[in-house]
Amino acid sequence: MFNAALRPIALVVRLVRRTGGSRLGRPALFAMVGGIGTVLNLLIMGILLALGVHYVAASLVAAELTILSNFFMQEKLVFAEERHTARTLRHRFVASVGFNNIEALLRMPLLMLLVEVLAFNSLVAQAGALACAFVVRYLFHAKVVYRHRPADPQAPEPVAAAAAAAIVLADLRAPEEPAVGNASSPHPTGSGHPAVPRPVPLLERVVRTAKT
pLDDT of residue 201 exceeding 50: yes
Identify which of 14, 20, 126, 23 has the alpha carbon closest to the alpha carbon of residue 72.
Answer: 14
Which range has the worst mean pLDDT, 48-52, 77-81, 199-203?
199-203
Q: What is the pLDDT of residue 31?
A: 86
d(CA 116, CA 125): 10
3-state secondary structure of 127: helix
Residue-wise pLDDT for 17-58, tens only, equals 565 555 557 888 888 888 888 899 899 999 999 999 998 899
All residues at 6 or more sequence positions from 54 whose CB lies less than 8 Å from its CB, including other chains: none
CB 92 within 8 A of CB 146: yes
Q: What is the DSSP code (8-state) at residue 150? A: P
Q: What is the pLDDT of residue 1?
A: 45
Q: What is the pLDDT of residue 43?
A: 93
Q: b vs e for 6-21, b when ≥16 Cβ sit within 10 Å of the residue's Cβ?
A: beebbeebeeebeeeb
* DSSP H helices in the chain: 2-16, 22-24, 26-50, 55-73, 89-112, 122-132, 134-140, 158-173, 202-211
Q: What is the DSSP string of 18-43?
A: IIIIHHH-HHHHHHHHHHHHHHHHHH
Give, rounded to a whole angstrom, the gap between the first and last alpha carbons of the chain: 57
Instruction: Tell me what the mean pLDDT of segment 75-103 comes to.
Output: 89
Q: What is the pLDDT of residue 58?
A: 92
What's the CA angle centered on 36, arms 34 and 38, to 5 degrees? Answer: 65
Q: What is the pLDDT of residue 94?
A: 94
Q: What is the pLDDT of residue 134?
A: 83
Residue-wise pLDDT for 155-194, tens only, equals 444 444 555 555 545 555 555 555 555 545 455 555 555 5
Q: What is the pLDDT of residue 130?
A: 81
Q: What is the pLDDT of residue 154?
A: 54
pLDDT of residue 148 exceeding 50: yes
Identify which of 89, 96, 75 has the alpha carbon closest to the alpha carbon of residue 143.
Answer: 96
Instruction: Tell me what the mean pLDDT of segment 104-131 comes to.
Output: 86
Averaged pLDDT of the chain: 74
Question: For the chain, what are the domain ranges?
Answer: 2-145, 152-176+190-212
